[in-house]
Amino acid sequence: MQSGLCHSSTLLAANNMSCSTTVAIGNSVFPPNSNSKSRNSQNRREVISLLQKCKHYQIPQIHAKIIRNGQDQDPFVVFELLRLCSNLKSIDYASKVFRRTQSPNVYLYTALIDGFVSSGYYLDAIRLYCQMVNEFIFPDKYAITSVLKACGFGLALEEGREVHAQALKLGLSSNRSIRMKLMGLYGKCGEFESARQVFDEMPEGDAVAATVMITCYAEYGLVEEASGVFDGLREKDTVCWTAMIDGLVKNGEMNRALEVFRDMQRKNVWPNEVTLVCVLSACSHLGALELGRWVCSYIDKNNIECNCIVGGALINMYSRCGDIDGAVEVFSRMKKRDVSTYNSMIEGLAMHGKSTMAIEMFREMMKRGLKPNSITFVKVLNACSHGGLVELGFEIFHSMTNSHGIQPQIEHYGCVVDLLARSGRIEEAYSFIERTKMAPDHIMLGALLSACKIHRNLELGERVAEMLVNCDDADSGTFALLSNVYAASGKWKEAARVRALTKEAGTPKEPGCSLIEVNNEIHEFLLGDIRHPQKENIYRKLEELNPVLKREGYSPATEVVLHDIGERQKEWALAIHSERLAICYGLISTKPCTTLRIVKNLRVCNDCHSMIKLIAKITKRKIIMRDRHRFHHFENGACSCGDYW
DNA sequence: TTAGGGTTAG
């Protein structure tokens, strides 16, 4: 939340302006002392009409005209001026105009409170409201609505409750807008009993009120409660459907989100651009390329503007679903691009191992006058890291402070550690961490540990492992990696200790899960999954493949399995990693030569990686797989990651 | 003669 006082900006010094002897508005000139009511109201109408058409840079000019006309105390004119400043985000100017108004009425207070809210100065808005009440100016329904908005965004629950009490006293509590803001206030503050009470007292069937409730519930992860409100509403409009879809997406319920979207279509409710952005986000997570492509053509056919948000969502969808060419095509067709557009494109290219193109994109962005932000540098440094561009990476890292005035944060340092470690300069990466004097996070240490494992530097690996065990923020993925490193060097006790630590910390290992889209439907597989209706055929395919793979020289790399179990059991456990099941299902349910696209939630293990390379070779298929870190394009026995991931 | 609705990416 932003708070505190507004920053100062230049304001036309009203007191220094002399009143002219003629009053000029637009092209008309009136003689002085012509105070007839009709002329005044004509002048006012003209100025108000000018204000309504005014651009940001014209504010001082038109304000000067208002002062010259002697209209700077006219509440109607000042009201329009304040609204204009607020809409154009000139809140400093607005507050100075307000301060020069001798006796502001409730309209002017409300206009400035609204201005503070839309600029994010919630505390200022609440203070101004208090000032108004202290001046014995009675709040009306508009003032109360505005200050409740401020209380909601500013999470000022106590102040909000006081305003609620005032609304009750003033007999305004049944006003629909006020109720809506009260729901928003209580919902944002997690006071669902109060929010629900206000909602239940409202007339049934109000889609807007239901949307507010759904959004509040979803923000707190209360998906079932949100769903309950949604299902209980008979007539749902586009925004309400969208809020439900978005709520599910934000809570990781992608399949349910797409189900709701399909239901929306069955009920003939038209999606708008916001709906489509939410659906695209679900597609991105699931790797649902077919549906994503459908959304893309829907946008084209229905002339929906491909603005930066829609375009960015499309780029993310294509690149995260494994179709980087599709992402590039969307990017090149976009008429307007901002930093986020470039960030998405750079990220996509980097994830697909196209580091040089990612760097070119970064340069093109700067050539076009767009300033890279902190996120841009994370993406570009990642590209350098995946492409082994160590020197260039360093150059870009240093340019952050030297040329762009951006202070590197822990994620940037993490990128440099990854950059060095990946290329085998592990000791250098370690001393870089020491030099930064910043407590390393689990991502940084994880990158280093991963490199220790790949470059077989177990001595340093152990030192890093100790640091990781003592690291507060390590997640299940990092612990799994650590446990893997111990298991790989036969240190079963340590491996077990890490597993126990993970349990203690309440971060059990996330179960491996792979998704594949076939005929517009997402199929989900877990380790050794037997839920799929085609399970017999899937496992038969797996058995069929095993001897062929062995003939091709595949031998299971059993050390990647964590538990200290017998060789045959290890082999068996490896054989049913979720990605293998997804691939076998893809093989039996698509035509020969069809590219298979898999999305996996964890990092692919060594063994599956070698096996998939061979499957791609034997079956003459392209297999594109997204794991937790990047994309792997398997083709003809090789992988685009160059066996480093 | 002054004003008000809920849903979007990174």
Is the pLDDT score of A632 beyond 90? yes
Confidence band (pLDDT; 50, 70, 90) for A542?
confident
From the number of C-beta atoms within 10 Å of its C-beta (0-12, 13-18, 19+), residue A203 rates as exposed
Is the pLDDT score of A523 beyond 70? yes
Distance B3 C1' – A424 CA (angstroms): 65
* pLDDT tens readout for residues A405-441: 999 999 999 999 999 998 889 999 998 988 887 888 8
Element (H, E) at A555: none
From the number of C-beta atoms within 10 Å of its C-beta (0-12, 13-18, 19+), residue A15 rates as exposed
Residue A569 is predicted with a pLDDT of: 59
Confidence band (pLDDT; 50, 70, 90) for A510?
confident
Is the pLDDT score of A374 beyond 50? yes
Beta-sheet pairing, A521-526 with A513-518 = antiparallel
The token duo for A639 is 């992988």
**A113 vs A571, higher pLDDT:** A113
A518 beta partners: A521
A221: left (phi over 0), alpha (psi -120 to 50) or beta: left
Residue A42 is predicted with a pLDDT of: 84
* pLDDT tens readout for residues A6-58: 332 222 222 232 222 222 333 333 444 555 677 788 889 899 988 988 888 88
Distance B8 C1' – A252 CA (angstroms): 17
Helix (H/G/I), strand (E/B), else coil: A372: coil
* pLDDT tens readout for residues A605-621: 888 899 999 999 999 99
Distance B3 C1' – A257 CA (angstroms): 37
For A175-192, what is the mean pLDDT? 96
> What's the CA gap between A316 and A351, in Å, rounded?
11
Question: Which nucleotide has the shortest C1'-to-CA distance from A178?
Answer: B4
What domains sit in chain A, N to C, each tagged with a CATH number? 409-504 (1.25.40), 514-639 (no CATH)
Q: What is the DSSP letter of A373?
A: -
Residue A564 is predicted with a pLDDT of: 55
**A31 vs A644, higher pLDDT:** A644
Q: Dihedral sign, CA of A409, A411, A416, A421? A: positive
Helix (H/G/I), strand (E/B), else coil: A639: strand
Residue A176 · residue A143 · CB < 8 Å: no
Least confident of A92-106, A225-239, A464-478: A464-478
From the number of C-beta atoms within 10 Å of its C-beta (0-12, 13-18, 19+), residue A333 rates as exposed
Where on strand B do bases come within 7 A of a protein Cβ? Answer: 1-10
Q: What is the DSSP letter of A604?
A: P
Is the pLDDT score of A500 beyond 80? no
Residue A126 · residue A147 · CB < 8 Å: yes
Confidence band (pLDDT; 50, 70, 90) for A520?
confident
Residue A575 is predicted with a pLDDT of: 61
**With a 7 Å cutoff on the CB, does A140 touch strand B?**
yes
Phi, psi at A233, each rounded to 5°: -95, 125
* pLDDT tens readout for residues A235-286: 999 999 999 999 999 999 999 999 999 999 999 999 999 999 999 999 999 9
Residue A567 is predicted with a pLDDT of: 60
Residue A29 is predicted with a pLDDT of: 38
DSSP code string of A549-582: HHHTT----GGGS-S---HHHHHHHHHT-HHHHH
Residue A547 is predicted with a pLDDT of: 85
**With a 7 Å cutoff on the CB, does A313 touch strand B?**
yes
Share of chain A residues as helix, strand and coil, in percent rounded to the nearest 5:
65, 5, 30
Residue A455 · residue A424 · CB < 8 Å: yes
Residue A300 · residue A274 · CB < 8 Å: no
**A109 vs A558, higher pLDDT:** A109
Residues 6+ apart with CB under 8 A from A159: A126, A151
Distance B3 C1' – A143 CA (angstroms): 10
Is the pLDDT score of A205 beyond 70? yes
Question: Which nucleotide has the shortest C1'-to-CA distance from A339?
Answer: B10
Is the pLDDT score of A221 beyond 90? yes
Residue A228 is predicted with a pLDDT of: 97
Is the pLDDT score of A571 beyond 80? no
Mean pLDDT taken over chain A: 87
Considering only CA atoms, which residue is closest to the C1' of nucleotide B3?
A142
DSSP code string of A254-269: HHHHHHHHHHHHHTTP
Residue A20 is predicted with a pLDDT of: 29
The token duo for A218 is 């979803």
**With a 7 Å cutoff on the CB, does A476 touch strand B?**
no
* pLDDT tens readout for residues A128-167: 999 999 999 999 999 999 999 999 999 999 999 999 999 9
Is the pLDDT score of A518 beyond 50? yes
Question: Which nucleotide has the shortest C1'-to-CA distance from A74?
Answer: B2
Query: Which amino acid is residue A579, in one-letter code?
Result: E
Phi, psi at A440, each rounded to 5°: -70, 145
**With a 7 Å cutoff on the CB, does A166 touch strand B?**
no
Is the pLDDT score of A99 beyond 50? yes
Question: Which nucleotide has the shortest C1'-to-CA distance from A271?
Answer: B7
Distance B8 C1' – A608 CA (angstroms): 37
* Percent of chain A at pLDDT exceeding 90: 65
Q: Within window 41-60 on A, which residues have Cβ closer than 7 Å to strand B?
A: 41, 44-45
Residue A616 is predicted with a pLDDT of: 95
A521 beta partners: A518
**With a 7 Å cutoff on the CB, does A578 touch strand B?**
no
> What's the CA gap between A252 and A522, in Å, rounded?
15
Distance B7 C1' – A211 CA (angstroms): 8
Residue A573 is predicted with a pLDDT of: 57
Residue A28 is predicted with a pLDDT of: 38
